[in-house]
Chains A and B, each alone.
Chain A
Amino acid sequence: MGLIARTIEATGTPTVALNGLKDIAEKVRPPRTVHLKWPFGHPLGEPGNRAQQLVVIYYALLALYDVLAPGVILEPGWRWRRERYVEPHDWRMP
């Protein structure tokens, strides 16, 4: 997936990639990565957990504006379960 992100970014379109395997992101170096240590098949979290999914989306969209250097890997450190997620209400980006 990092290879696809790199190819798109090279045409001038900004990308942000969710990632579950940091070692691979460190090698491939996608332009912007949000790393979450969550199981395969669950890049945005648990089924039915709308707040968790929206928090991940918000964070990834924010990375589009906040990351100013190529190859940055962000690690919010959220737990897969037993984390309290609150649906974002203010979506204004810097």
Chain B
Amino acid sequence: MTTNNQDSLLHLLYQGVGQVFSRSPALARLWGSTFNALRFGETPFAAMRTPLDRARIALITTGGVHTVDQQPYDMNDPRGDPTFRAIPADIARDQLTITHDYYDHRDAEKDLNILFPLELFRELEQLQIIGSLATCYSFMGHIKPPYVETLLCTTAPQAAGMLKQDRVDAVLLTPA
């Protein structure tokens, strides 16, 4: 079997499993209990010191969101895509789309706030409940070796650096 055929079969397998898990949270939890995730003993921690009404907040999702002008995440490689996309805080809803074959995002397409609550945070900014909404970011959260290392050593640090440069006070992360 060629590598391309193997990749296609793996993609189909992950796609099917992702759709099943989207419909059955109990099955997804069973999978999660056996998933060989990286284990850490220590956890970094930074105290939140900025009052909410002065805080600059960014959102990050791993739900595969991107603008219609940006390159979609790579769905041909079953190991995933560790790259990320910057999402302007003021972008119109109709300029956003989702590329992620490994979960059911039909409801998120109907109401993106259930996955990536950009519109709700813009309201919170207008109401001065938060200080401001910063540029947000999206990843595609189906990342397998060797891309876990790419994420850890390259792309996640890049995003973290951009958040620092933008003087972001706190980040809310939402999964697929």
Contacts and interface: CB of A to CB of B under 8 A. Distances in A.
Contacts of B38: 3, 27-28
Chain B, interface SS category: mixed
B170 A39 contact: no
Given A8-B159, A31-B43, A54-B120, A18 B175 contact: yes
A23 B33 contact: yes
7 contacts: A8-B163, A13-B170, A22-B32, A27-B39, A40-B25, A41-B108, A42-B108
B100 to A, nearest CB: 9
A40 B111 contact: no
A38 B25 contact: yes
Contact of A64 (B62, B151, B170, B176): B170
Nearest to B30: A23
A68 B49 CA distance: 12
Given A40-B104, A91-B129, A57 B46 contact: no
A10 to B, nearest CB: 4
A64 B120 CA distance: 18
Interface residues of A, number: 57
A12 interface: yes
Nearest to B153: A7
Interface residues of B, number: 65
Interface stretch (B2-10, B16-24, B73-81, B89-97): B16-24
Nearest to B39: A27
Given A4-B60, A60-B172, A28 B37 contact: yes
Given A19-B175, A42-B114, A70 B43 contact: yes
B46 A31 contact: yes
Contact of B43 (A20, A29, A44): A29
Interface string B137-165: 00101000000100110001101110110
Contacts of A44: 113-115, 117, 174
